[in-house]
């Protein structure tokens, strides 16, 4: 069990010890005892849960609440005249229809455009998604946003894990992912690999995770793959376009029909060691 899996399980842990005998929780707790970073995360989660629970317990519940609800005022429906018995002047009918169709036409012509499906929005959405996997965004160590974007409704997960890049390619080939991808030279032999297949604005996305060291999230690097024609402003050359953001440093490039987005904690210099 790694820290990502342990965090997922420990989010359901109750601090009063009632869950300590559960085999999965016991394994996750053992992982927290071995890893200081995971232990700090669990302590923060437990303190937050305890504070919320204590606050809820201070809210008084009236002893006669149930009786008050049952004795409350009843809402009785008013008699309604059937629509076919209502007399409407023909001129009023014509005017109502004209206003209705005019309003429909106006709204159709002035419908606000949807969010742009470009590299900027793609980078923002995938950054938010990856941040939820750790609960924090790594460089500045602040809480990940809870805003629901195109990946926001999904929980961070890897569909398949292996220590072999060829195993990852085979799994992606069998499950409809991007299997014919090119990996930067210095990301060929990490400790382990993970992969996932997702959808973004109707486009297939392949996510690769590289565990390059023992520390999380500092040693976790992600490579996101999407078809080149899915992004109108995708880079059209293989030379990486590096951007240093608040939370991650990214490198974007295109090879053949695929556009790649490499995302890693650290600055521009740290990103350079992967190429």
Q: Are 116 and 124 in contact (CB under 8 A)?
A: no
Please state, in angstroms and rounded to a whole number, the distance separating the CA atoms of residues 273 and 19. 43
Q: Are 128 and 137 in contact (CB under 8 A)?
A: no
Q: What pLDDT does 274 receive?
A: 81
Percent of the chain with pLDDT over 70: 69
Q: Which CA distances in Å does 26 have to 2, 18, 33, 194, 216?
A: 14, 11, 11, 24, 21
For the chain, give me the number of helices (H) and strands (E)? 8, 9
pLDDT per residue over 19-54, tens digit each?
Answer: 667 777 788 778 777 887 887 877 777 777 777 777
Q: What pLDDT does 137 receive?
A: 40
- Cis, peptide link before residue 220, omega less than 30° from 0: no
Q: What pLDDT does 258 receive?
A: 93
Residue 228: pLDDT over 50: yes
Q: Are 169 and 193 in contact (CB under 8 A)?
A: no
Lowest mean pLDDT among 110-119, 120-129, 192-201: 110-119
Report the candidate in 227, 207, 226, 191 with the shortest Cα–Cα distance to residue 130: 207
User: Residue range 129-135: average pLDDT?
Assistant: 62
pTM as predicted? 0.54
Q: What pLDDT does 140 receive?
A: 40
Q: What pLDDT does 100 receive?
A: 75
Q: What pLDDT does 111 receive?
A: 45
- To 10 degrees, the CA torsion angle through 103, 107, 110, 112? 160
pLDDT per residue over 185-217, tens digit each?
Answer: 887 777 778 888 888 888 889 999 888 777 766
Residue 135's pLDDT band, with cuts at 50, 70 and 90, is very low
Average pLDDT for the chain: 75
């Amino acid at each position: 069990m790694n820290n990502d899996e342990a965090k997922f399980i420990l989010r359901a842990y109750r601090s009063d010890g009632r869950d300590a005998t559960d085999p999965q929780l016991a394994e996750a707790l053992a992982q927290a005892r071995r890893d200081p970073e995971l232990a700090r995360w669990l302590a923060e989660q437990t303190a937050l849960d305890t504070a919320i629970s204590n606050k809820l317990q201070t809210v008084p519940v009236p002893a006669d609440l149930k009786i008050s609800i049952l004795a409350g005022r009843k809402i009785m429906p008013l008699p309604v005249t059937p629509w076919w018995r209502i007399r409407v002047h023909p001129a009023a009918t014509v005017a109502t229809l004209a206003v209705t169709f005019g309003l429909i036409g106006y709204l159709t012509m002035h419908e606000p455009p949807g969010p742009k499906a470009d590299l900027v929005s793609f980078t923002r959405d995938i950054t938010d998604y990856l941040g939820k996997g750790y609960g924090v965004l790594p460089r500045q160590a602040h809480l990940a946003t809870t805003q629901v974007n195109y990946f926001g409704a999904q929980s961070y997960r890897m569909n398949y894990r292996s220590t072999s890049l060829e195993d990852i390619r085979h799994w992606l080939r069998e499950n409809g992912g991007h299997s014919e991808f090119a990996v930067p030279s210095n990301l060929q032999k990490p400790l382990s690999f993970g992969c996932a297949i997702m959808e973004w604005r109707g486009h297939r996305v392949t996510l690769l995770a590289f565990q390059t060291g023992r520390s999380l999230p500092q040693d976790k690097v992600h490579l996101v793959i999407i078809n080149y024609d899915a992004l109108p402003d995708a880079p059209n050359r293989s030379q990486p376009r590096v951007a240093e953001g608040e939370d991650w440093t990214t490198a974007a490039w295109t090879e053949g029909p695929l556009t790649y987005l490499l995302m890693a904690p650290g600055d521009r210099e740290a990103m350079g060691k992967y190429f």
